[in-house]
Amino acid sequence: QSFKLLGFLDVKSVPCARESVLYGSLGSLVVGLGHFLATSRVRRSCDFAVGGFICTMLGYWFYCRYNLAQHRIRQRMLKEGMRNKILFEGSSLDPERKQTGDERSDS
Amino acid sequence: MANHSQFGFQDASSPIMEELVEFHDHALMVALAICSLVLYLLTLMLMEKLSSTTVDAQEIELIWTILPAIVLILLALPSLQILYMMDEVDEPDLTLKAIGHQWYWTYEYTDFKDLTFDSYMTPTTELSPGHFRLLEVDHRVVIPMESPIRIIVTASDVLHSWAIPALGVKTDAIPGRLNQTSFITTRPGIFYGQCSEICGANHSYMPIVVESTPLTHFEHWSSILSS
């Protein structure tokens, strides 16, 4: 079953969404409560809490998605490398053979 | 294909569709942030008195000019990146043509052999167990998996549109015009689509089925079809 935040963001199936919202909530609590404890101004603390929520949520979102994108690129490179190894193993196009050949010629 | 009452995208089966799903998630997160802010401001306004003596508000005007500009940049950059990525046609292994008619598709594989066939929807009364109503066809488009495929789409009579949601492909079929698109299927499988441009009485009854198979199976299929 999916849980859609505000009716449209499925936090369970979207990678990084759940963590972003949770960290955003934590950031909102910390910033809002911290501001209130420091200044005792309720209205301004609420403003800071909402701002903290948005900034923390988006900040973690971009960080997590960047890492996810790098992970996916590494996954694709690994998949490509594994396929090339299986395809070309033992043939003249085998990258490992080329590497070994270079080492022999250097020595 | 989509499940019953499915709201989101189908699972991505091509790199472009994966990027589109990522961008969609990104756009929804930005939308969530904006909606949260708007909801909060609305709540504040409901608790405010209606009197205001503000005549000049330079700071807030600056904020509500710069913030939307930042939001637009956050959305535009990945969007343009994917848009240009979709237009890349990088040495396809196979070119096939899809011609839309009222109300069926014709496919032509003319790279190596002259293979042409029509693809009609399988009527509901002739479906086999396990087949999908209004989605199955008599002849599927078989393509090799993990190979760049170029498809040239046109129509013979009225406007049609060749679309496969799982692959992120939707190309208009316009009479007298050749539209080109390309895709790569990342895994074997059967991908369903439907005509996406109103074309008459049976517009809903001219589906598209793409079968992505390993190269050996594709070669076997094409040799059977050509004989």
pLDDT digits (tens, 9 = 90+) for B21-70: 999 999 999 999 999 999 999 999 898 887 878 788 899 899 999 999 99
Residues A25, A26, A29, A32, Cα dihedral to 10°: -90
Q: What distance in Å separates residue B95's CA from the closest CA in chain A? A: 23
Ranking A13-17, B99-103, B144-148, B216-220 by mean pLDDT, the lowest is A13-17
Chain B residues with CB within 8 Å of chain A CB: 8, 18, 22, 25-26, 28-33, 35-37, 40
Residue with the two structure tokens 């401001």: B41
For residue A105, the model assigns a pLDDT of 53
**What does the alpha-carbon distance between residue B173 and residue B3 come to, in Å, rounded to a whole number?**
27
The count of other CB atoms within 10 Å of the CB of residue A79 is 12
CATH 1.10.287.90 fits B15-87, yes or no: yes
On the question of pLDDT at B94 being above 90, the answer is yes
* A37-44: long-range contacts, CB 8 A cutoff, minimum separation 24: none
On the question of pLDDT at B201 being above 60, the answer is yes
Domain borders along chain A are: 15-87
For residue B2, the model assigns a pLDDT of 81
**What does the alpha-carbon distance between residue B106 and residue B96 come to, in Å, rounded to a whole number?**
10
**Using the beta-carbon criterion (under 8 Å), do A8 and B28 form an inter-chain contact?**
yes
**Using the beta-carbon criterion (under 8 Å), do A54 and B33 form an inter-chain contact?**
yes
**What does the alpha-carbon distance between residue A55 and residue A61 come to, in Å, rounded to a whole number?**
10
Q: Which value, in Å, is the radius of gyration of the alpha carbons in chain A?
A: 25
**Using the beta-carbon criterion (under 8 Å), do A53 and B30 form an inter-chain contact?**
no
For residue A102, the model assigns a pLDDT of 55
For residue A99, the model assigns a pLDDT of 61
Give the mean pLDDT of A21-46.
94
Listed in order, the ranges of chain B carrying CATH 1.10.287.90 are 15-87
**Who among A13, A17, A46 is closest to B29 (CB)?**
A17
Nearest to B74 by CA among B15, B17, B31, B125: B31
**What does the alpha-carbon distance between residue B207 and residue B136 come to, in Å, rounded to a whole number?**
7
In terms of Cβ atoms closer than 10 Å to its own Cβ (0-12, 13-18, 19+), residue B117 is middle
3-state secondary structure at position B165: helix
**What does the alpha-carbon distance between residue A16 and residue B144 come to, in Å, rounded to a whole number?**
33
On the question of pLDDT at B215 being above 70, the answer is yes
Question: Where does B55-183 have alpha helices with state H?
Answer: 58-86
Confidence of residue B170 (pLDDT cuts 50, 70, 90): very high
For residue A5, the model assigns a pLDDT of 66
**Who among A15, A57, A65 is closest to B33 (CB)?**
A57
Confidence of residue B113 (pLDDT cuts 50, 70, 90): confident
Give the mean pLDDT of A70-80.
91
**What does the alpha-carbon distance between residue B195 and residue B179 come to, in Å, rounded to a whole number?**
15
CATH 1.10.150.20 fits B94-226, yes or no: no
On the question of pLDDT at B225 being above 90, the answer is no
* DSSP β-bridge partners for residue B107: B98, B117
Question: DSSP class of residue B93?
Answer: S
Q: What is the ipTM of this complex?
A: 0.78
**Who among A5, A14, A21 is closest to B25 (CB)?**
A14
| CB proximity list for B127: less than 8 A, separation 6 or greater | B133, B136
**What does the alpha-carbon distance between residue B29 and residue A6 come to, in Å, rounded to a whole number?**
11
For residue B6, the model assigns a pLDDT of 82
